[in-house]
Amino acid sequence: MLWRIRHRAPQSSRELRLGIGDDCALLRPAAGEELAVTTDLSIAGRHFRLGIHPPEAVGHRTLARGLSDLAAMGARPVAAFLSLGLPRELAVAKRGRTWVDRFLDGFFALADRTKTALAGGDLAESPVAMADIVLVGAVPRGRALLRSGARPGDLLYVTGALGGAAAGLRLLDQTSARKKGASFSISGRNADLLAPHLYPEPRLAQGRRLQQQALATAAIDVSDGLSTDLAHLCSESRVSAEVDSAILPSHPAATLNDALNGGEDYELLFTASPKARIPRSISGVAITRIGRMLPIRKGRPPVMLVTAKGKEPLEPRGWEHFS
Amino acid sequence: MLWRIRHRAPQSSRELRLGIGDDCALLRPAAGEELAVTTDLSIAGRHFRLGIHPPEAVGHRTLARGLSDLAAMGARPVAAFLSLGLPRELAVAKRGRTWVDRFLDGFFALADRTKTALAGGDLAESPVAMADIVLVGAVPRGRALLRSGARPGDLLYVTGALGGAAAGLRLLDQTSARKKGASFSISGRNADLLAPHLYPEPRLAQGRRLQQQALATAAIDVSDGLSTDLAHLCSESRVSAEVDSAILPSHPAATLNDALNGGEDYELLFTASPKARIPRSISGVAITRIGRMLPIRKGRPPVMLVTAKGKEPLEPRGWEHFS
- Grade residue A5 by pLDDT with cuts at 50, 70 and 90: low
Listed residue (A145, A140, A157, A164) closest to A250, CA to CA = A164
CA A224 to chain centre: 9
Name the strand (E) or helix (H) holding B68: helix B55-73
B23 contacts in chain A (CB < 8 Å) = 36, 38, 69-70, 72-73, 147, 219-221
Tell me the C-alpha distance between B186 and B68, whole Å.
24
- Per the CB < 8 Å rule, is A24 touching B72? yes
Q: Which residues of A touch B134 (CB under 8 A)?
A: 37, 39, 81, 134
Number of C-beta neighbours around residue B141 at 10 A: 14
- pLDDT of res. A92: 84
Q: CB-side exposure of B204: number of CA atoms within 13 Å? A: 23
What confidence category does residue A129 fall into, taking pLDDT thresholds of 50, 70 and 90?
Answer: very high
Contact call for A25 and B37, based on CB within 8 A: yes
pLDDT at A323: 46
- Kindly list the residues from chain B whose CB atom is less than 8 angstroms away from the CB atom of residue A142: 17
pLDDT at A91: 87
Angle of helix B55-73 versus helix B99-113 axis, rounded to 10: 30
Residue A26 scores a pLDDT above 60: yes
Task: State how far residue A218 is from chain B, nearest Cα, in angstroms.
Answer: 10
- pLDDT for A102-111, tens place per residue? 999 999 999 9
The Cα–Cα gap between B138 and B211 comes to 12
A79 and A14 Cβ atoms separated by less than 8 Å? no
Residues of B in contact with A135 (CB under 8 A): 24
pLDDT digits (tens, 9 = 90+) for A61-95: 999 999 999 999 999 999 999 999 999 889 887 77
- Cβ distance A20 to A6 under 8 Å? yes
As to burial, measured by CB atoms within 10 angstroms (0-12 exposed, 13-18 middle, 19+ buried), residue A234 is buried
Q: Mean pLDDT throughout A230-251?
A: 95
pLDDT of residue A186: 64
Pairs across A and B, CB distance < 8 A: 217
**Helix residue spans in B200-304 (DSSP H):** 204-212, 226-237, 256-261
Smallest Cβ distance to A46: which of B28, B126, B135? B126
pLDDT in tens, A161-208: 999 999 988 888 887 777 654 455 666 677 788 889 999 999 999 999
- Picking from B3, B23, B83 by the largest number of A CB atoms within 10 A of its own CB, the best residue to mutate is B23
Question: Can you list the domains of chain A with their CATH numbers?
Answer: 2-7+29-140 (3.30.1330.10), 155-182+190-313 (3.90.650.10)
* Cβ B317 vs Cβ B323: under 8 Å: no
How near does any CA of chain B get to the CA of A108, in Å?
Answer: 19
- Residue in B closest to A20 by C-alpha: B38
Mean pLDDT computed over A128-134: 94
DSSP secondary structure letters along B271-290:
EE-TTS---SEETTEEEEEE
The string of pLDDT tens digits covering residues A245-289 is 999 999 999 999 999 999 899 999 999 999 999 999 999 999 999
Collapsed DSSP state (helix, strand, coil) of residue B175: helix
Mutate to test the interface with A, among B1, B37, B122, B319 (most CBs of A within 10 A): B37
Mean pLDDT, 10 residues at a time, chain B of 323 residues: 58 75 86 92 90 94 96 95 92 84 94 92 89 94 94 97 92 76 60 89 97 96 94 95 95 93 94 96 97 94 93 84 52
Q: How far is CA B181 from CA A293, B59, B175, B178, in A?
A: 56, 21, 9, 8
ipTM for the predicted complex comes to 0.87
Of all residues in chain B, the one with the smallest CA distance to A218 is B22
Mean pLDDT of A98-126: 91
Find the angle CA(B107)-CA(B113)-CA(B119) to the nearest 5 degrees. 55
